[in-house]
């Protein structure tokens, strides 16, 4: 448990063979690589590939939402069986962990998930994570597994996030891999293609979006591929792929969860005086609120908006929207404690 935490995400395009099905030889290579890294890191594997493993069992598959859910339900046990067989050759057991977006937005459920993962690690078990597509709500779900991997990295205070993709790195305008990115600025963003792989949900834009979030919270990010010998080990040694430098972050674990893992359910609009107080790390009082928008209860997370309509942060509220609106002119009533507020 003293080892640093490494989250490794494998995309659908990396796992799929020419026939569109999951390539078992790739799974074996992943197991070999991860087993070698397991000596030095506590590892979470985020794996796509459930849909591509199961869709061939459905007649006249057209890729509708319902068919994708069915394909994922069929493919998940097939995929985890591939991983189990490949890792067992290294004396490692894997556990299947199917997550939903609300597991991150509900603090109590997130802590339960974290405790379960720690039980895996204490017993030398590697969790293989995917979204629970069968029952995930289309309104509140992960945009793709890049988001899932990033939220796991942030929530578990990972040191490194490694995203394995078919592009083998972040490419410049001439399709050459950029080895190191110090800051994701306009020059870097100009190289992004909006194309997605034929079998995946997320393109490079998604990867860079979540790379920005991870690096801003102190996590080193690597985008690489599986070509060559020992590709993951080479990537971490800065000999392959693209390395995105992490920024220094002083946020506490709970604040990181608020900033990244929570699903906001409403908005609180604050006046200029309240905004100034928040910037001074003060708690939010109801007298500084101009209005509360949406239906939310005590303990839920909302966006904080300034007078010009900009999102300035998020907060876990101590009051419902009804109570806030009722007490907006009452002094010394706290709407959110400073420790439960994160400003962007």
What is the spatial distance between Cα 256 and Cα 326, in angstroms, rounded to a whole number? Answer: 30
Would you say residue 43 has pLDDT above 70? Answer: yes
Q: Looking at per-residue confidence, does 287 or 297 come out higher?
A: 287
pLDDT in tens, 130-164: 987 666 655 445 667 888 999 999 989 999 999 99
| 98 pLDDT above the threshold of 50 | yes
Confidence of residue 81 (pLDDT cuts 50, 70, 90): very high
Each residue of 308-344: pLDDT tens digit?
Answer: 988 888 898 999 999 999 999 899 999 999 989 988 7
Q: What is the mean pLDDT of the chain?
A: 89
- Residue 201, pLDDT score: 45
* Residue 125 pLDDT grade (very low, low, confident, very high; cuts 50, 70, 90): very high
The pLDDT assigned to 262 comes to 65
For residues 344 and 342, give the distance between their C-alpha atoms in angstroms, rounded to a whole number.
Answer: 7
Q: What pLDDT does 259 receive?
A: 74
- 123: tokens are 């017993």
Distance CA 38, CA 232 (A): 12
pLDDT band at 199 (very low <50, low <70, confident <90, very high): very low
Q: Is the model's pLDDT at 82 over the cut of 80?
A: yes
Choose between 282 and 140: higher pLDDT.
282
| Domain 264-343 in the same topology as domain 4-253 | no
Local confidence band at 194 (pLDDT 50, 70, 90 cut-offs): low
Q: What is the distance between the alpha carbons of residues 29 and 23, in angstroms, rounded to a whole number? A: 10
- Residue 213 has a pLDDT of 86
Mean predicted confidence (pLDDT) in 35-41:
96
| 299 has pLDDT over 80 | yes
Question: Does the CA dihedral 340-262-112-7 come out positive or negative?
Answer: negative
CATH number of 264-343: 2.30.130.10
Please report, for residues 13, 40, 240, the alpha-carbon distance to residue 285 in angstroms, rounded to integers and kept in the order given: 49, 47, 51
**CB proximity list for 202: less than 8 A, separation 6 or greater:** 11, 143, 144, 145, 146, 147, 196
Minimal CA–CA distance to 47: which of 117, 160, 157, 146? 146
pLDDT-derived band at 287, boundaries 50, 70, 90? very high
pTM given for the model: 0.83
Would you say residue 47 has pLDDT above 80? yes
Query: What is the C-alpha to C-alpha distance for residues 231 and 278, in angstroms, rounded to an integer?
Result: 46
pLDDT at 63 over 70: yes
**DSSP structural state of residue 177:** B
In this predicted structure, the answer to whether residue 102 has a pLDDT above a threshold of 80 is no
Q: Tell me, what's the pLDDT at 144?
A: 79
Please compute the mean of the pLDDT values over residues 248-256 and round it to a whole number: 82
Domain ranges across the chain:
4-253, 264-343
Q: Does domain 4-253 have CATH number 3.40.1190.10?
A: no
Average pLDDT over residues 155-182: 94
Give the pLDDT of residue 271. 96
Name the band, by pLDDT with cuts 50, 70 and 90, for residue 265.
confident
């Amino acid at each position: 448990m003293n080892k640093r935490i490494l989250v490794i995400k494998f995309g659908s395009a990396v796992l799929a063979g020419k026939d569109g099905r999951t390539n078992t030889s790739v799974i074996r290579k992943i197991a070999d690589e991860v087993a070698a890294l397991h000596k030095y890191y506590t590892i979470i594997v985020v794996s796509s590939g459930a849909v591509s493993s199961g869709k061939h069992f459905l007649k006249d598959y057209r890729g509708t939402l319902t068919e994708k859910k069915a394909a994922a339900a069929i493919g998940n046990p097939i995929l985890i069986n591939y991983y189990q067989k490949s890792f067992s050759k290294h004396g490692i057991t894997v556990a299947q962990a199917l997550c939903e977006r609300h597991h991150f937005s509900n603090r109590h459920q997130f802590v339960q998930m974290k405790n379960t993962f720690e039980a895996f690690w204490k017993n030398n078990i590697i969790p293989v994570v995917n979204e629970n597509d069968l029952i995930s709500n289309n309104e509140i779900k992960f945009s793709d597994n890049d988001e899932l991997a990033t939220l796991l990295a942030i929530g578990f205070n990972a040191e490194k996030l490694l995203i394995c993709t078919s592009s083998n790195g972040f490419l410049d305008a001439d399709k050459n891999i950029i080895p190191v990115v110090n800051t994701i600025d306009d020059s870097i963003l100009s190289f992004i293609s909006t194309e997605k792989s034929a079998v995946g949900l997320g393109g490079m834009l998604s990867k860079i979006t979540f790379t920005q979030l991870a690096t801003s919270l102190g996590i080193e990010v690597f985008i690489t591929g599986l070509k060559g010998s020992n590709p993951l080990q080479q990537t971490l040694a800065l000999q392959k792929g693209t390395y995105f430098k992490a920024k220094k972050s002083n946020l506490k674990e709970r604040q990181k969860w608020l900033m990244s893992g929570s699903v906001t359910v409403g908005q609180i609009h604050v006046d200029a005086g309240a905004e100034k107080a928040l910037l001074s790390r003060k708690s939010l009082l109801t007298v500084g609120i101009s209005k509360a928008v949406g239906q939310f209860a005590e303990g839920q997370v909302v966006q904080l908006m300034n007078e010009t309509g900009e999102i300035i942060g998020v907060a876990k509220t101590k009051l419902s929207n009804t109570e806030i609106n009722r007490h907006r002119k009452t002094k010394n009533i706290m709407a959110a404690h400073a420790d439960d507020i994160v400003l962007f």
